[in-house]
Chain A
Amino acid sequence: EVQLVESGGGLAQRGGSLRLSCTASGFTFNIYWMHWVRQAPGKGLVWVARIHKDGPYTSYADSVRGRFTISRDNAKNTLHLQMNSLRDEDSAVYYCVREYDGAGNWGIDYWGQGTLVTVSS
């Protein structure tokens, strides 16, 4: 059974940092592209970042580029999101998600349950 379990959420100060982690199990982690998607309370889904299955290629939403860094440790089946210079608008549930396997199949087949990040002064 595919499982994605996020951790590391909590309360962070405006301008501060937080590191999210996602532990994957039930599948061969190193053959999948992975992403982070967030959802502010009562709002819609927003794509945040994407990382290649081996890690060298990443892409980011304009709203987080330069502040957030996505990374992965394939030996530990773990995905990370380093969030710096946090803003109030970064407050959200952050989901770790798996991209479909297969060329051109650019969608999500599995979602974690999410971890809540709250940014406050």
Chain B
Amino acid sequence: SYELTQPPSVSVSPGQTARITCSADALPHQSIYWYQQKAGQAPVVMIYKDTERPSGIPERFSGSNSGTTVTLTISGVQAEDEADYYCQSSFNSGIYWVFGGGTKLTVL
């Protein structure tokens, strides 16, 4: 199988930069997607295909890929960004999908 590893939690103060990593246990990996889930709500896609930002997502959200580790960066974190963030990818040409364990972002 295939696993994605995320840190359980990240804490930052408002205005700082938050970086959430997602590490794949094998190469090559398919594209990574990032989802934000606020308490009691369904997830929302924030980044697709490693670095692309859907329309309507603030520019402070960005994605980068450095091989086995992909990073979601939130620049100038705001209180409203406090949420759980999940990375997701696939293997066997999209047949099987996997989520990372999730990272709880706390805005201090």
A interface residues with partner B (beta carbon < 8 Å) = 35, 37, 44-47, 50, 59, 61-62, 95, 100, 104-109, 111-114
Contacts and interface: CB of A to CB of B under 8 A. Distances in A.
B65 interface: no
Interface stretch (B11-19, B20-28, B70-78, B96-104): B96-104
B36 to A, nearest CB: 11
Interface of B: 1, 30-31, 33, 35, 37, 42-45, 48-49, 54, 84, 86, 88-90, 94-102
A91 B33 CA distance: 25
A108 B95 contact: no
Given A108-B88, A111-B42, A46 B31 contact: no
A50 B84 CA distance: 24
Contacts, number: 63
A75 B101 CA distance: 36
B86 A44 contact: yes
A46 B99 contact: yes
A106 B93 CA distance: 9
Contacts of A100: 48
A95 B42 contact: yes
Nearest to A45: B99
A99 B90 CA distance: 12
A105 B49 contact: yes
Contact of A107 (B1, B44, B48): B48
A90 to B, nearest CB: 17
Contacts of A35: 97
Contact of A111 (B1, B43, B49, B54): B43
Nearest to A62: B1
A111 to B, nearest CB: 4
B94 to A, nearest CB: 4
B33 A108 contact: yes
B42 A107 contact: no
Contacts of A106: 30-31, 33, 89-90, 94, 97
